[in-house]
Amino acid sequence: MTEIDIHGVCPPRFAAVKDAFAANFTDAPEGLNERGARFSVVIDGETVIDLRGGWADAAQTVPYGERTLTPVFSAGKAVMALLIATCVERGLLDYEATVASYWPEFGQAGKDGITVGQLMSHQAGLSGFAEAIDPTDWFNRAVVLEKLCAQAPLWAPGTASGYHPITIGYLAGELFRRVDGRTMGHALREDFPGLDLWIGLPESEFDRVATMRKPSAPPNLGVIDPVKRSAFFDRGSSPGQRESGEWRKAEIPSANLHGTALDLARILQAVAAGSFEGRTVLSEPVLEAARRERIHGQDKVLPFVMGWAAGFTCNRGLGIFGPHDETVGHCGWGGSTVLADPEVRLSAAYVMTRQSSHLIGDPRAQRLVDAVYSVF
């Protein structure tokens, strides 16, 4: 294999991180050698690591550069959760209030008692559709929302978590729009200016998007029951054509954020430290409420005993985001990973073009995160 040039910033203190990043291209765990990737770490507002290497295209003719955009899939849920937290900060939402108090139509079919906090922590029982939909329906937001409002929960809300792979983006996105007046995509660009992060990518940016290599095997979800089937396996459980222009342009906060690792790490400082570029975004009470574990146990969709905060995966019991239990983050389809650690005011993001079948804790990301924390 041709030697990969590694570019970017990594001080001598973090030499082990650069070594791990380079090794992921030639000697990745489980043979998942990188094709193109970037890893960034911000501590207390300062970018301390920003490494990139490899290729952005399948033919390996376009270098993976500073302006390369990568689809991060569910890792974008961390940004979605942050945007909801900004509404709590401004007094537009309360995690303990019911969703129906802001969005009356949502309260149909026994959902009138579901709180914002329960919705964001995947306890609402709307992880998929009780009756399968056509994949193209996802591109009609009104249709999706009408069906979700009319549907009864798939389990008793508040009794268990069940990861909502796609639906949570429509639900949280509409809740945000109801109280803020803007879509999440518009708010992201206006409230965090200068970041190369997109929920709904304009056609003018398409040529910067890296080509993804899909996993060679499906993820292991354990025994498939009706709840898991509706979330992942029904024909219409997710939008089709994930590299189409229609997919890229749609605003699906749970699934189709495109961006750079550096700017994901930068925006997650608002979760790790409450601030972004020197500006306070979230006060301590809101940070505590957003990061607090709201449920812990066997998830009904993912095959893990795990905890959920208000839109974030909790590190306690998993250990996929470093050594600290208070760290939160999110993983995306194929391996992308973001985290925010309030104990050391650290945020980090890993993006890549070769996808694995790991649902969480991709071994390449783990290698990098472990190397970072080996320094502390």
Show the DSSP H helices in the chain as ranges.
Answer: 15-26, 77-89, 116-120, 141-150, 167-180, 184-191, 226-228, 245-249, 261-267, 269-272, 284-291, 363-373
Q: Between the CA of residue 31 and those of 16, 34, 135, 357, what are the distances in Å?
A: 20, 9, 33, 12
Q: Which uninterrupted H or E stretch holds 348?
A: strand 346-352
Shortest CA distance to 75 belongs to which of 103, 38, 44? 38
C-alpha–C-alpha distance, residues 158 and 174, integer Å: 21
- 3-state DSSP helix/strand/coil % of the chain, to nearest 5: 35, 20, 45
C-alpha–C-alpha distance, residues 199 and 270, integer Å: 18
Is 101:178 a contact under the CB 8 Å cutoff? no
Tokens 């380079």 belong to which residue?
A: 22
C-alpha–C-alpha distance, residues 186 and 150, integer Å: 27
Tokens of 51: 């490494």
C-alpha–C-alpha distance, residues 116 and 89, integer Å: 14
Q: Which uninterrupted H or E stretch holds 371?
A: helix 363-373
**Beta-carbon count within 10 A of 29 CB:** 14
Residue 137 burial (C-beta neighbours within 10 Å; 0-12, 13-18, 19+): middle
Spot the catalytic one: 40, 74, 230, 347. 74
Q: Between the CA of residue 310 and those of 79, 83, 200, 244, 281, what are the distances in Å?
A: 12, 11, 23, 31, 16
Query: Kindly report the CA angle at 83 between 78 and 86, in degrees rounded to 5?
Result: 130
Phi and psi of 52, rounded to 5°? -145, 155
Annotated active-site residue 101? The verdict is: no
Phi and psi of 41, rounded to 5°? -135, 130
Q: Catalytic residues, which ones?
A: 74
